[in-house]
Structure 1
Amino acid sequence: MRKSIKFILTLILVINMLATTILAAGTEPPPASADGVVLMDANSGTIIYSKNMDTQYPPASTTKIMTALLALEKSNLDDEVVVSKTAPFADGSKIYIEEDEKFTMKDLLYALMLQSANDAAEAIAEHISGSTEEFATLMNERAKELGCTNTNFVNPHGLYDENHRTSAHDLALILKELSSHPEYIEIAKTPMYYIEPTNKQTEQRPIWNKNRLIQSSDKYYYADALAGKTGYTVESMHSFVAVAERDGVRLIAVLLHDSAHTYWDDVRSLFDWGFDNFSLATFIKQDDSLGTYSVSNEISIPIAAATDFNYLKDNSSTDVPTLKILDKDISQQSFKKGDLILKGQILLGEESLGELDICAEEDYTFNSSIFQKNDSEESKKENSTNIFMSVLKYVGIVLLILVVLLRTRKVIIDKKRKKRKLETMKKNMYFQRYYKK
């Protein structure tokens, strides 16, 4: 019995280790009660820590980061949005928009990100795609483009549906893309916003940001926080996604399916652990010489880094990246000093950290006559080789014919000799018989 219990406990430990990934660091990450967890470097997409990161969970209102991303990609902030008949009846959190009420896309994004307004989410979806169903299709298409593999959205706000699922990793990929938009960061880090009177509303609508990390008077205030989005339904439980930046390092945290409602403390601890154990390091600086690159057998040109390349360094590791220049035929193109001509892959062990743009350090003019001359010489060599091979082939054929003829002649001669010998033998036999008589 004791052996069985020991085996079961060991099996549970192994399964837990397989589900949890930690990029090498000096200390263990702090515990997080959510079932799905990711801590990601926002610049490279490197996963620093994860727990069940590819397991599907209902995301609740963290869904709205995809809605916000599509709003920024498919419209302008000053676009006018006219509310449909259906959007005002969205369930859950709302700002109580009215049919035919007119808003700017900017106002609806503030309502979406700060107030988590479901009616604003539906108004945005219908403005972009005509219906929430078509918008969900667009959401899923964009998710696939971002590399999401465990996501299926069926609505723009995250109200519970058994088919509405994503993973901590996928949400981190979406937030990585969204946080690259300065407009999103500006909106998401705003503690309070007022929507001005509209054609249907005579008074301002005040909107408070539900992300307690950016409220300076809140006990959960986190000075490095840039953005965040909460989510909750009874079935989905608590979820939270956030972005924080310190000393040039920008991190993304995702906590999905949390029954304990401890994500405010958990996310701050995860961010602190990430910032304490990882730092921004410069591998290559802009204009650093990278040696020479062979344009042809006779010509090489000096090349240099077109940009800085920074990466997230594990403070406990002494490993350094390496540069692999990606081969490309540039022999028949002209370029000037500073033109981008190549790309390099930055590797840390077998892991790719990203690509580096590489430029020429001097002008180069493609001279077709040189290449034509080279081609001509190559053609002559090839023709000479072809002629030589042809001669060898014909000589071989002639020799083969001679061998066949000689062998045929020998066979004929041998046959004639045998025939004469046989005739002689017959004559001798005849005479012998004749004289005996």
Structure 2
Amino acid sequence: MKKFLISLVTFFLIFCSYAKASTPTQPAVSADGAIVLDANSGRILYSKNIDTPYAPASTTKIMTALLTLENCKLNDMVTVGKKPPVADGSKIYIFEGEKLTVEQLLYGLLLASANDCAEALAEHIGGSIDGFSQMMNRKAKELGCKNTNFVNPSGLYDDKHRTSARDLALIMKELVKQPEYSKIAKTSSYKIPPTNVCKEERPLWNENKLVQPYSKFYYNICEGGKTGYTIQSLHSYVASASKDNHRLIVALTHDNNKTYFNDSLALFKYAYENFDLVEPYLKGQTIENYSINKNSSIPLSLGENFYYTIEKTLASKASFKIEPKLNENLGKASLKKGDTIGTAQVKLDGKSIGEVKLLSGKDYTPKTTASTVLTNTVSTGKTILKYVFYVFIIILAIYIVLRIILIIKRKKRRKRFKYKK
């Protein structure tokens, strides 16, 4: 009986341990919207109301930064207009007519969350706040954002100014590709030197505690982030982290408790501890040789890396397969190495999980053989004979009709001649 009880307890402990390992507990967050997005594979590792639109407050500024880095050089000079100095909310107090570089304004935008810097950049790039807002919305659609509408570059509250946790993550995913972004966003402090108008230095401190080494929230793999708050919007936060080339994005929206630093760390930890990024297929890899005919074949080459994020408990048992879907009439026309010739469906344990482009692995030109020439010649000859036959039939029909008409006319003439006699 004692041995039985020991065995039962041991089994129970092993079972509980297995259950815990196979279904890790997700962290609870106070934000109403939350997501962990794997930037490499696109897989969502944590979700909570990810498509519900909320007012994003100053997390809006990551879109402003993205458009700035895409449209400007850091040393471009910006002359401040009339409106930015009187912007509401947080600012570093720039002046009308002041000349600042794009880089200096970006430091003000991302470290101090300055609304006056946001508006100065918006006017410089879009010509006006409205013009820049249109650019923001066009870019959002390009990135696949479906629940976003921007009306200003700073995030000042407006009932029509909205985005979702998923959309915010998609914007950050694109922004962090810009190397200048992380350089600026990870800077603890910065001083804007005297300008043509302001004779004093402007010291700036980074409000993102995940990049501040002295902070209890310091996260050494954080690539940058942005906080946001207004009374109506509540708190929001978005950040990126990268570990061993595995990049994750966390976005939190509409947080009433201001626990976004703690919650972000918990989400990053949860994702890195429970998921692995795998690359079952790599760009340039030949998956098979496709036979065009008995004498010719072309290698099917992958046009991009394929990433997938998988639960660590399942990684060792995962079975990936790839199924080519080639363009119609492949092989009938010439190909250059690198030409797109179709796609390939990637499957995990029989379930489709994505697709990659397929490229031709070499140049290919259809060969013209003697038999092909003979076949084409015979075919052409048959076509000509067919048309000649049709023309002959038409001419014969016309001849017969004319002959009949002529015979009828002759008979009529004979009858008239008889009557006259």
- Settle same-fold status: TM greater than 0.5: yes
**Aligned counterpart, 1:355:** 356
> What CA distance in whole angstroms lies between the structure 2 residues aligned with 1:371 and 1:229?
69
Q: Structure 2 vs 1, CA of residues 196 and 310 (structure 1 numbering), >3 Å: closer, same or farther?
A: same
Which one-letter code corresponds to 1:217 in the other structure? Y
- Contact in 2 for aligned 1:228/1:243 (Cα 8 Å): yes
| 1:35-434 → structure 2 map (5 Å cutoff) | 35-295=32-292, 299-305=296-302, 308-317=305-314, 318-328=317-327, 329-336=330-337, 343-348=343-348, 350-356=351-357, 358-360=359-361, 362-367=362-367, 373=373, 376=376, 379=379
Identify which range, 225-234 or 367-376, moves more after superposition.
Answer: 367-376
> What CA distance in whole angstroms lies between the structure 1 residues aligned with 2:374 and 2:208?
67
**1:334 CA drift (Å):** 3.9
**1:210 CA drift (Å):** 0.6
Residue segments in structure 1 that go unaligned for 5+ positions in a row = 1-23, 391-437
Q: Structure 2 vs 1, CA of residues 132 and 297 (structure 1 numbering), >3 Å: closer, same or farther?
A: farther
Q: Structure 2 vs 1, CA of residues 168 and 381 (structure 1 numbering), >3 Å: closer, same or farther?
A: farther
Which one-letter code corresponds to 1:145 in the other structure? E
Q: Structure 2 vs 1, CA of residues 55 and 374 (structure 1 numbering), >3 Å: closer, same or farther?
A: farther
**1:308 CA drift (Å):** 4.5
Secondary structure of the structure 2 residue equivalent to 1:316: helix
Which one-letter code corresponds to 1:85 in the other structure? K
Secondary structure of the structure 1 residue equivalent to 2:313: coil
- Contact in 2 for aligned 1:39/1:49 (Cα 8 Å): yes
Deviations 1:226-276 (A, max 9, x none): 110000001100100000111221100000000011111100000000001
Secondary structure of the structure 2 residue equivalent to 1:312: strand
> What CA distance in whole angstroms lies between the structure 2 residues aligned with 1:297 and 1:61?
63
- Contact in 2 for aligned 1:81/1:105 (Cα 8 Å): yes
> What CA distance in whole angstroms lies between the structure 2 residues aligned with 1:306 and 1:133?
39
> What CA distance in whole angstroms lies between the structure 2 residues aligned with 1:78 and 1:155?
24
Q: Structure 2 vs 1, CA of residues 95 and 351 (structure 1 numbering), >3 Å: closer, same or farther?
A: farther
**Aligned counterpart, 1:416:** none
Secondary structure of the structure 2 residue equivalent to 1:183: helix
- Contact in 2 for aligned 1:59/1:165 (Cα 8 Å): yes
> What CA distance in whole angstroms lies between the structure 2 residues aligned with 1:25 and 1:174?
32
Deviations 1:398-427 (A, max 9, x none): xxxxxxxxxxxxxxxxxxxxxxxxxxxxxx
**Aligned counterpart, 1:400:** none
**1:341 CA drift (Å):** 5.5
Secondary structure of the structure 2 residue equivalent to 1:100: coil
Aligned residues: 362
**1:40 CA drift (Å):** 0.2
- Contact in 2 for aligned 1:309/1:356 (Cα 8 Å): no
Secondary structure of the structure 1 residue equivalent to 2:104: helix
Percent identity among equivalent residues? 47
Q: Structure 2 vs 1, CA of residues 77 and 335 (structure 1 numbering), >3 Å: closer, same or farther?
A: same
> What CA distance in whole angstroms lies between the structure 2 residues aligned with 1:110 and 1:372?
69
> What CA distance in whole angstroms lies between the structure 1 residues aligned with 2:323 and 2:360?
15
> What CA distance in whole angstroms lies between the structure 2 residues aligned with 1:78 and 1:244?
27
Which one-letter code corresponds to 1:166 in the other structure? T
Secondary structure of the structure 2 residue equivalent to 1:54: coil
Residue segments in structure 2 that go unaligned for 5+ positions in a row = 1-20, 391-421
Which one-letter code corresponds to 1:244 in the other structure? A
Which one-letter code corresponds to 2:323 in the other structure? K
Q: Structure 2 vs 1, CA of residues 167 and 334 (structure 1 numbering), >3 Å: closer, same or farther?
A: closer
**Aligned counterpart, 2:12:** none
> TM-score normalized by structure 1?
0.76
**1:183 CA drift (Å):** 1.4
**1:306 CA drift (Å):** 5.4
**1:320 CA drift (Å):** 3.4
**1:205 CA drift (Å):** 1.6
> What CA distance in whole angstroms lies between the structure 2 residues aligned with 1:382 and 1:227?
73
Deviations 1:133-153 (A, max 9, x none): 111111111111111111111
Secondary structure of the structure 2 residue equivalent to 1:123: helix
**1:157 CA drift (Å):** 0.4
**1:185 CA drift (Å):** 1.6
The structure with more radius of gyration? 1
Secondary structure of the structure 2 residue equivalent to 1:301: strand
**1:340 CA drift (Å):** 6.5
Secondary structure of the structure 2 residue equivalent to 1:326: strand
Deviations 1:1-39 (A, max 9, x none): xxxxxxxxxxxxxxxxxxxxxxx9640211111000010
**Aligned counterpart, 2:3:** none
Which one-letter code corresponds to 2:333 in the other structure? Q
> What CA distance in whole angstroms lies between the structure 2 residues aligned with 1:334 and 1:180?
33
- Contact in 2 for aligned 1:306/1:359 (Cα 8 Å): no
**1:80 CA drift (Å):** 1.0
**1:56 CA drift (Å):** 1.1
Deviations 1:27-68 (A, max 9, x none): 021111100001000122211111001111100000111111
**Aligned counterpart, 2:10:** none
